[in-house]
Amino acid sequence: MSDQAQPVINYFKRIIPVDDVDRVMIGNAFKLVHVKKRQFLVQPNFVATHRNFVVRGAFRSYIVAEGGHEHTIAFAIDDWWITDYNSYIFQRPSTMFVVALEDSIVLQIDFEKENMLKAAHHKYETFFRTIAERGLAFYLRRLISNLSHSAEERYREFEKNYPKVVQRVPQYALASYLGMTTEYLSKLRNQRMKKPDG
């Protein structure tokens, strides 16, 4: 059996040592899933059953607010994780969608198998602690950016930090991630803002 879990094993190796026994345990915990564009991994009112590691492809999580406005919460491309953490961690009904933006391949671990890993060995707990801490730090930086920068600054900053995401993601999704309308982002990109003078 070829090791389909290799991509996520490589990811684990960046954080904790992985020996042959671990290789098998991790391989058994994750299952490889092909996801078609526009297919959902999570939907509101259902509990997010899996944490998803993106082997190849692109995803977006978003909520639909009153008035039908969508707000993108996260993107995930190759080598990133995605799920609804509020739903997954507490095993409560989700409030968001997670959808594939391209035909994608993910490695999924479900909540129970993740808990078994965590219980099985100290170092798996270390692994999940580390990615939770990094995720926390990431959302903190994003919150700071949202509070302290203008729409244009947020866009320029994102473009600089995540050029690959900008290229692969539809503009309406990026706009709603950055907290602005599609129209406004379009204007920002095309420099057709009102000019000071003629």
Partner DNA sequence: TGAAAAAGTTGAACTAGTTCAACCTCCTTT
Partner DNA sequence: AAAGGAGGTTGAACTAGTTCAACTTTTTCA
**Footprint of a second copy on this chain (CB under 8 A)?**
63, 65, 69, 71, 73, 85-86, 89-90, 95, 118, 121-122, 125-126, 128-129, 132-137, 139-144, 146-149, 176, 179
Site string for DNA, 22-41 (x = CB under 7 A): ---------------xx---
Q: How far apart are CA 103 and CA 108, in angstroms?
A: 16
Q: Which of 15, 63, 116, 151 binds DNA (CB under 7 A)?
A: 151
- How many Cα neighbours within 13 Å face the side chain of 41? 38
Using the minimum distance from each CB to DNA, give the nearer residue, 43 or 145.
145
**Best CA proximity match to 33, nearest among 61, 52, 48:** 52
**Number of neighbouring beta carbons within 10 Å of residue 177:** 23
Label residues 98-107 b or e (16+ Cβ within 10 Å = b): bbbbeebbbb
Stretch that binds DNA, among 18-26, 41-49, 123-131, 144-152 (CB under 7 A): 144-152
- Contacts with DNA, residue ranges (CB under 7 A): 37-38, 67, 69, 150-152, 170-172, 179-187, 189-190, 192
